[in-house]
Amino acid sequence: MPANLIPLLIILAVTVGVFVALYFLGKKLQKKQDEQQASLDAVAQQMTFFIIDKKKLKIKDAGLPKMVYDQTPKYLRPFTKLPILKVKIGPKVMSLVCDAKVFDTLAPKQEVKATVSGIYVTAAKRIRGPIVETDPKKRKAQIKEEKKAAKAKAKANKQK
């Protein structure tokens, strides 16, 4: 047996082992995600609220119940930022966690009809208010252009 063949077989065996382990781990995680999605759908309810503000905040600064902070794994607490909506539901002002896809489509100062599961917003539809560009690439380009225009304006004011 050639000397180069043995290390290649060992590498091949390790790679196959890793792929098999990832396959079974993926199946297990997919099953867990499906169960969680089913439980979210079971307790979901429709709400109409007014979005006061939207930000990505750390869990501690978000104004969420203490139980949410306690249930978050310790290694995620200092670094994780969540998409948070500050909303007015009737006379009450609350902070809700929002799905990332839904967060990009919402704008502050608009009324929304949303599907809420506990404190988690899973879907939202605008009732009144401005239309927000949903394509993140277009939004990033728009923000970049606004920054360039602001810099150019500041530079022109400085030169005067």
Closest C-alpha to 62, from 80, 84, 77: 84
3-state helix, strand, coil in the chain (%, to 5): 45, 30, 25
Q: What are the pLDDT digits (tens) for 90-121?
A: 899 999 999 888 888 888 888 999 999 888 99
With contact defined as beta carbons under 8 Å apart, do 71 and 77 qualify?
no
Query: Which residue spans within the chain are E strands per DSSP?
Result: 45-58, 81-89, 92-98, 110-117, 120-128
More confident call, 14 vs 76: 14
Q: Please give the mean pLDDT across all residues of the chain.
A: 87
Q: What are the pLDDT digits (tens) for 54-67?
A: 989 888 888 888 88
